[in-house]
Amino acid sequence: MKIIVTGCAGFIGYHLTKKYLEKNIKVIGIDNLNDYYSVKLKKDRLKDLYNHPKSKNFFFNKVSLENFNQLKKIFLKHKVSIVVNLAAQAGVRNSIIKPIDYVKSNLVGFSNIIILSKEFNIKHFVYASTSSVYGNSNKTKLSEFNSVDHPIQFYAATKRSNELIAHSYSSLFNIPTTGLRFFTVYGPWGRPDMALFKFTDKIIKRKPIEIYNYGNHSRDFTYIDDVTNAIFLITKKKFILKKKKKFYNNDPSESNCPFRILNVGNNKPVNLKKYIEILENSLEIKAIKKYKSLQKGDVPKTNASLLKIKKLYKYLPKTKIENGVKNFIKWYKEYYKI
């Protein structure tokens, strides 16, 4: 089996590629190594993949998803059966400042990769969506059955657009597509723009950490190994569509075509103050805290319903937040030689 993983030098893409290599699966990696955050970190992830015992099964291509012709050459060269599209311009707050970057990567790039997946008869197109599509929902648990028609950031709007584009291609061309709504993924090799990385860096350096919404946020933090396990389970199993007599008008995550959307979370939200306390205990350093009001585009609470992914794939997150944070700190100290 050959699988394309776009964004293979990114946080989730790197870990997923590594998991596939461990399972002796050939990975065609695609990444443009953009400078949204440290290019060195991305290159070091790639270096780690090249040093993997089964690196002979890894084929890297430095290509942007906006470059349709270069992408097509990769599809022509490698006969792949599955595409996992994790390449995207990330960052909720950055999308307010630089929206055009999100149009190029998340809309043009996404369209290119799904068009080619159709052209080359891909058996399963899996792609990253986000919990941000739920917007400022007042639901206790965020379910795929909920309406997601009111995104409050441009980033979320582009990701919701991905879901709609995927549905149109599933409907028109019968391509099995699965969209994954990730909930605050964290762990070793994580992104420097995310809270755990920023907090750890500043606490170690004895610099103040900025705590928005006065620490009243709560997040469904999902450890990276649980996320890659979910993707592996989904891509290992054949997409099975149970035909319904009526179109799922009341369920935006299913259809009569081979289209599906799944939450990938932990289902155990943690208050931000508690999260910082866990981090302080692991580092054995007290944070210097600077409390701030709610930022534009921020959502106060996320909590994933996992009923659907558990039923379909027997997905069960295993990593406790305390262990996940410790694993990240261990990696951080080793990587930065602290």
Which residues lie below 8 Å from residue 272, measured CB to CB, with a gap of 6+? 195, 211, 213, 215, 216, 217, 218, 219
β-sheet bridge partners, residue 82: 3, 124
Q: Any idea which residues carry the catalytic annotation?
A: 155
Q: Cβ(225)–Cβ(266) under 8 Å?
A: no
Alpha carbon distance 207, 203 (integer Å): 6
**SS3 for 209?**
strand
Residue with the two structure tokens 């979910």: 230
Structure tokens belonging to residue 158: 């582009």
Under DSSP, the state recorded for 106 is I
Q: Can you tell me whether residue 228 is helix, strand or coil? A: helix
| 197 contacts 191 by C-beta, under 8 angstroms | yes
Strand partners, 84: 5, 126
What are the residues whose beta carbons fall under 8 Å from the beta carbon of 320, sequence distance 6 or more? none
Closest CA to 125 of 74, 79, 178, 162: 178
Give the CA dihedral 131, 135, 177, 67, nearest 10 degrees: -90
Interatomic CA distance for residues 332 and 207, integer angstroms: 17
- 174 neighbors 257 (Cβ within 8 angstroms): yes
- The H or E element spanning position 39 is helix 39-50
Alpha carbon 44 to its chain centroid, in Å, reads: 19
Distance in angstroms (rounded) separating the CA atoms of residues 87 and 106:
8
